[in-house]
Amino acid sequence: MRVLVVEDEQLLADAVATGLRREAMAVDVVYDGAAALERIGVNDYDVVVLDRDLPLVHGDDVCRKIVELGMPTRVLMLTASGDVSDRVEGLEIGADDYLPKPFAFSELIARVRALGRRTSVPLPPVLERAGIKLDPNRREVFRDGKEVQLAPRSSPSWRC
C-alpha cells in the first residue's frame, strides 16, 4: 500500500511515517498543502493521511482537489479539530475517515488498512480497435487520435 502523510508538525509526520513503514507500507511525507498537491499530481496513493491546518494550502483544499480530480485515493483526516461539527465538515468535503488527535497508533494503522482495502476497485479497460479508442472510465472516445464529441444521452422517443 502506498501512503502520503501530510502533516506540518515534522516530528509527528516522521513518527507516523516510521510506524506505517514498519507495517510494510510505502510512505512519502510532506509538510505543507502545496507539496501535497504536487505529490498527488505525480504519484498514485492508496491513502492520504491529511492534517487540516496546513501552511500554504489548507488541508480542506487538498481534500477537495483529490475529490475534484476523481482520484481513487482515500483520505484520512488526522487533525486536532475533533469536535463533532469539525468531523462532520471534514467528511462532507470529501474525507473518507476522520481521526482526531491525540490518537492510538494501532487505531491509525487499522483505519489506514481499511481505507487501503477500498482502493483496489478495478477500472474498466480502455478498448482499442481499428483506430477507435474508448475509455469508459473517463467517458472519452477517440478516432484516429482525435477526440469524438458525444451528445448527451437522451431517452428514446419510442418509450411508453
**The pLDDT of residue 127:** 79
What is the end-to-end Cα distance of the chain in Å, rounded?
50
Sign of the dihedral through C-alpha 114, 96, 136, 131:
negative
**The pLDDT of residue 47:** 95
What are the distances in angstroms from CA 148 to CA 125, 132, 142? 18, 10, 5
| Model confidence band, residue 139 (pLDDT cutoffs 50, 70, 90) | confident
Instruction: Look at residue 160 and tell me whether its pLDDT is greater than 80.
Output: no
Distance CA 78, CA 117 (A): 19
**The pLDDT of residue 25:** 93
| Model confidence band, residue 7 (pLDDT cutoffs 50, 70, 90) | very high
**The pLDDT of residue 122:** 52
Distance CA 152, CA 139 (A): 11
Residues near 100 by Cβ (< 8 Å), separated by ≥ 6?
Answer: 79, 80, 81, 82, 86, 87
Distance CA 59, CA 92 (A): 14
**CB-count burial class (<10 Å; 0-12, 13-18, 19+) for 145:** exposed
Q: In what order do the strands lie in the sheet with 132-135?
A: 127-129, 132-135, 140-143, 146-147
Sign of the dihedral through C-alpha 29, 119, 76, 135:
positive
Q: What percent of the chain has pLDDT over 70?
A: 89
Reference 76, options 42, 113, 102; nearest CA is: 113
Instruction: Look at residue 137 and tell me whether its pLDDT is greater than 90.
Output: no
**The pLDDT of residue 140:** 82
Residue 157 or residue 137, greater confidence: 137
Residue boundaries of the structural domains of the chain: 2-117, 123-160
Q: What is the CATH number of domain 2-117?
A: 3.40.50.2300
Tens-place pLDDT, residues 66-101? 999 888 899 999 988 778 888 888 899 999 999 999
Mean pLDDT, the chain, integer: 87
**The pLDDT of residue 156:** 55
Tens-place pLDDT, residues 22-42? 999 999 999 999 999 999 999
